[in-house]
A and B are shown apart, each in its own frame.
Chain A
């Protein structure tokens, strides 16, 4: 779950680190921090932080820690979950086929990101392997995408291997 939060911390030495430490305490991962000393309200400075936590339970725990440390949460938004899934396709196809497949898939789910790698093998053998790494916003989308690739590969006579 990716979270953007806007915090106000006391303008004292160690307060910035003190506001970020709780994220690690709930096994979160800090993606970015902006420390804005120009926005001082009630002797507090603004800290914008983007981080990942595994669940709502961890986010609630984090909010409780911040509250106990007298850190003000002024905004918490753009909260969304992302799920990353890998799909491998084996058989006779070309790069255009995979591009089309992803275009069609984007009508079924909203991708956060898609990355495709191909095996380096060349030569006369027309069989190839593609690895699609797709990031979507929900497990429902993940299931939809799974069903989509599964059906498309069955129809195209291709072997389909998905992640766990």
Chain B
């Protein structure tokens, strides 16, 4: 399996680390570990048809902030110049246009390549088109890490719960908002909690994508399309963020044994992200930066899963699970 990694930021580097950490496991399972034949960051590319030295790549990126020595301007031209089997698309998310991620994924699928991505933008905007393209060209297209980071929700619904009728999914899919609301539970005002989230590196300098609910909405769209087989995009989501939630409101909720959490609700008829009143002790009242989801299935009943919604290694672990699933179904030699 020859892999091309598009994007060498936090998640891309995390995936390279995981490939090193799991080298022996993958070698034992498949006879030989997958090879990374090319890596692109925003400006440069490193390529070797015999497989790149991942430790050296990580060291170079650390030292020079560049992954390769060769610069490029057209990512599609780079994709065309490399002989690869699988694209791992982890470039920065753009939920307005899909950004370079959408271009790369579309091109790779058009060329008959398998794709793994955690990039929410292309999925939130063009889900149905990409799925159809993958189907038409016989490609594997997986995106577990795009929702809930390390928390296995998409593959859980598609694989373990495949015989169930899932009536709804409700969950917390943005750790930044949950961190802020948890801090407000303890008496901090919104502005202070946001500033602390920014200092801790949980929130961006411009936090609007998180606190206005757009990030959660993108994930809700991915779940609506992939689990409920709907055909929706981010403009179909009814979104209310948390910026108007006052300390006053949090205190009033607490006096009734409730907390306020930003909940995404997805079903055949609902597609919504909004602050909700959650009874203390309810699985969705979880605090801190964790993500949580409650899946209502007709046979299994409610299933609650929780995990780290972001993080370098955590998100990359979801890519590893997708990689193994693809290698298994592609009939890679299985030694386990």
Binding site for B on A (CB under 8 A): 86, 88, 90, 117-119, 121, 127-129, 131, 133, 159-164
The answer to whether A90 and B277 have CB atoms under 8 Å apart is: no
Q: Bound state CA distance, A162 and B252, in angstroms?
A: 13
The answer to whether B244 and A164 have CB atoms under 8 Å apart is: no
Shortest Cβ distance from B282 into A: residue:
A164
Binding site for A on B (CB under 8 A): 170, 240, 244-246, 248-249, 251-253, 255-256, 258, 260, 263, 274-279, 282, 284
The answer to whether B249 and A86 have CB atoms under 8 Å apart is: no
Number of A-B contacts (CB under 8 A): 59
Closest Cβ of chain B: how far from A21's Cβ, in Å?
26
The answer to whether B276 and A161 have CB atoms under 8 Å apart is: yes
Partner of A162 from B245, B255, B277, B282 at Cβ < 8 Å: B277
The answer to whether A164 and B248 have CB atoms under 8 Å apart is: no
Q: Bound state CA distance, A129 and B248, in angstroms?
A: 7
Q: Bound state CA distance, A127 and B252, in angstroms?
A: 14
Closest Cβ of chain B: how far from A29's Cβ, in Å?
17
The answer to whether A88 and B246 have CB atoms under 8 Å apart is: no
Q: Bound state CA distance, A133 and B245, in angstroms?
A: 19
The answer to whether A159 and B278 have CB atoms under 8 Å apart is: no
The answer to whether A119 and B256 have CB atoms under 8 Å apart is: no
Closest Cβ of chain B: how far from A119's Cβ, in Å?
4
Q: Bound state CA distance, A12 and B85, in angstroms?
A: 80
Partner of A133 from B240, B256, B263 at Cβ < 8 Å: B256
Secondary structure of the A side of the interface?
strand
In the bound complex, residues from chain A placing their C-beta under 8 Å from that of B256 are 86, 117, 131, 133
Q: Bound state CA distance, A46 and B255, in angstroms?
A: 42
Contact A161 to B252, CB < 8 A, known contacts A86-B258, A90-B244, A129-B246: no
In the bound complex, residues from chain B placing their C-beta under 8 Å from that of A128 are 248
Contact A127 to B246, CB < 8 A, known contacts A164-B170, A164-B284: yes
In the bound complex, residues from chain B placing their C-beta under 8 Å from that of A164 are 170, 263, 276-279, 282, 284
The answer to whether A162 and B276 have CB atoms under 8 Å apart is: yes
Closest Cβ of chain A: how far from B320's Cβ, in Å?
34
Q: Bound state CA distance, A121 and B249, in angstroms?
A: 10
The answer to whether B255 and A117 have CB atoms under 8 Å apart is: yes
Contact A119 to B240, CB < 8 A, known contacts A127-B246, A162-B276: no
Q: Bound state CA distance, A118 and B255, in angstroms?
A: 11
In the bound complex, residues from chain B placing their C-beta under 8 Å from that of A117 are 252, 255-256
Contact A86 to B245, CB < 8 A, known contacts A129-B252, A131-B252, A164-B282: no
Shortest Cβ distance from B258 into A: residue:
A86
Partner of B244 from A86, A159, A163 at Cβ < 8 Å: A159
Shortest Cβ distance from A133 into B: residue:
B256
Closest Cβ of chain B: how far from A147's Cβ, in Å?
12
What are 22 A-B residue pairs whose CB atoms fall within 8 Å in the complex?
A86-B258, A86-B277, A88-B253, A88-B260, A90-B246, A90-B249, A117-B256, A119-B248, A119-B249, A128-B248, A129-B249, A131-B252, A159-B240, A160-B240, A161-B249, A162-B274, A162-B276, A162-B277, A163-B276, A164-B263, A164-B276, A164-B279
In the bound complex, residues from chain B placing their C-beta under 8 Å from that of A88 are 249, 252-253, 260, 277
In the bound complex, residues from chain B placing their C-beta under 8 Å from that of A121 are 248
Given contacts A90-B246, A129-B246, 4 further A-B contacts (CB under 8 A): A86-B258, A90-B249, A119-B252, A161-B260
